[in-house]
Chain A
Amino acid sequence: MLNALKRLGIGFLLWGVTGAGFSDVVVVMSAQSPSTSINREELADIYLGRLNQLPNGAQVIPLDQTERSPLYEEFYQGYLGRTPAQIKAHWSRLIFTGRGQPPQSVPDDKAMIEAIANNPRAIGYIDSENVSENLRVLNIE
């Protein structure tokens, strides 16, 4: 319990410092994509390998930042409520039967933007400061 309180305390501190908590990371698709928003549960299912299409039926390909990057941790913690270790354990359950593999990862925001801008099916996440006009930031419902 003590740890939980401490963690909460640290969370508040970070929140105070950055002023916006986890909202620094935004979920993006190509500006060519018709999608403007996504449900939080659908986003989680896409990144956990349970769902490979959007509600409109269009196929979707999730892209990851590298596992050890701060963006990776912020995305999974902020949008899925899972730590990188939990995500690793999740994929260990699927990888070792050949049932699934984690999203392909890109080295940084620049590579993420390039990969997404040219592919209307790709979905990813980047630092909000790096959003360019060929991307669309999705509203999370």
Chain B
Amino acid sequence: MSLTIITLPRHAIIACLVAAMAPFATAQTTEPSPLRLDGFGTLGVVHSNEERADFVSSLLVPEGAGFSNQWSVKVDSKLGLQVSTDASSTVSGVVQVIFEQQYDGSYSPELEWANLNLNLSQDLELRAGRMVLPSFMTSEYRKVGYANATSRPPPEVYQLVPVSNIDGLSLLYRSRLDQATNTLQLVYGGKTVKAPSFEVEADNALTLANTLEWRALTVFASYTNTRLTIDAFDNLFNAYSAFGPAGEAIAQQFDIDDKRFEIMTLGGRYDTGDWFILGEWARNRSRTLVGDTRGWYLTGGYRFGPVTPYLTLARRNFYGMTSHPGLDIPQARPLNALLNEILADAAIQTRVAVGLRWDFAHSIALKMQYEHINLGAGSEGVLANDQPGFEPGGTVGLFSATLDFVF
């Protein structure tokens, strides 16, 4: 079920939502500011020493650091603007627009959130519209650099699900267990996103996410089940299917065409104020060529006043099939070669990052991060746009400097 909201032009949605919120702006003249304007942004530059491939922030963008530009401002830079009404009133709303690199290389505004929230009781909220897809512990603020410990969400986990929002409905239930606060969220919806050369469609996506907060500890778990379609491989599998039942079986085994796709995540954070440690483990699973991918990261830091050095360890691995004999027919050889090229292109890497966050002024922080990526044997890891001459399985050094701000 794709909700109709995704077919509306985004400017029309923004106009509708702002119009819908207008009554709240005038109804309560005694309240000081019923509409809030908030914003966040990142000005960042990334350098990669691998000139024959790009380090990208998302699978959905065309350019990154390395091949496209040795120093790239496109990886992390973004600006987000948000209008919201008082979250504590019975009906509230939020509209957020983000300017960042799009699938077509433009910086046209993208509607990140646009939803209405109904507080059914003090503990229960119903939300409708475009909202966060809470697959990961920091999904809600994955684009707000200021709220994150590191330069960007660890790609080993966050690139497992490149979309951050979904069009649909959600129920959120908050409960207090002794001194702990528990938030259980159920989200249902769908989303179609464009990548530079293909489209990703998620239908009937159901996500269950739970966050438990107790003193310095946060524990997160989520499960997503969706029907996924990626049209990038249509030609290959149509060609296989033309060979009859044996070819159809291969198409059925690997094609991503309305296939069940599951994502599981476990995460935790312990933040005493002086030091913190956070980590997540996530896995996606499907009977497709994306197979079974797992990623994890662990970040720890110590705060010396406004300066916070941190360290991240991360790993991503692939447990699916990396080769297949294909069809034993001479005419199918080019197809077999292509299939095996795709299967071998699994993102496997280990990464160590050291960084420093400096909260040097009010609402603004500078982060500098150096990371060393060890690509798995024969793998390009999370790099994209690999060019002739690129050697998989090597190492990559990245340096990032970002200014994160909120207002």
Contacts and interface: CB of A to CB of B under 8 A. Distances in A.
Interface bin, chain A: 20 to 34
Interface stretch (B91-99, B247-255, B393-401): B91-99
B95 to A, nearest CB: 9
A3 B359 contact: no
Interface in A59-91: 67-68, 80-86, 88-89
Contacts, number: 89
B11 interface: no
Nearest to A3: B304
Interface in B288-329: 303-307
Nearest to A77: B273
A89 B86 CA distance: 20
Contacts of B365: 85
Given A41-B215, A50-B181, A89 B147 contact: yes
Contact of A83 (B115, B122, B215, B359): B359
A97 interface: yes
A51 interface: yes
Interface string A1-16: 0011001000000000
A139 to B, nearest CB: 18
B306 A83 contact: yes
Contacts of B176: 51
B273 A81 contact: yes
A88 B359 CA distance: 11
B140 A99 contact: yes
A42 B307 CA distance: 28
B305 A68 contact: no
Contacts of A110: none
A41 B181 CA distance: 12
Given A81-B272, A93-B147, A67 B86 contact: no
B220 interface: no
Interface in B17-64: 36, 38, 40
B273 A98 contact: no
A119 interface: no
Nearest to A76: B273
B21 to A, nearest CB: 11
Contacts of A4: 304
Interface string B55-91: 0000000000000000000000000101010111000
A95 interface: yes
A95 B38 contact: yes
Given A80-B273, A92-B146, A92-B147, A97 B307 contact: no
Contacts of B147: 89, 92-93, 96
A41 to B, nearest CB: 6
B36 A96 contact: no
Nearest to B80: A96
Contact of B36 (A45, A50, A101): A101
A44 B144 CA distance: 23
A115 to B, nearest CB: 12
Contacts of A51: 176, 181
Interface string B319-352: 0000000000000000000000000000000000
Given A92-B144, A97-B141, A98-B87, A82 B273 contact: yes
A23 interface: no
A19 interface: no
Given A81-B273, A93-B140, A95-B82, 10 more contacts: A45-B181, A52-B122, A67-B362, A80-B273, A96-B80, A96-B96, A97-B132, A98-B93, A98-B113, A98-B115
Shortest beta-carbon contacts, A-B, top 4: A98-B94, A81-B273, A85-B359, A92-B147
13 contacts: A3-B307, A7-B304, A83-B273, A83-B305, A83-B306, A84-B362, A88-B146, A93-B138, A94-B140, A97-B140, A98-B93, A98-B117, A99-B140
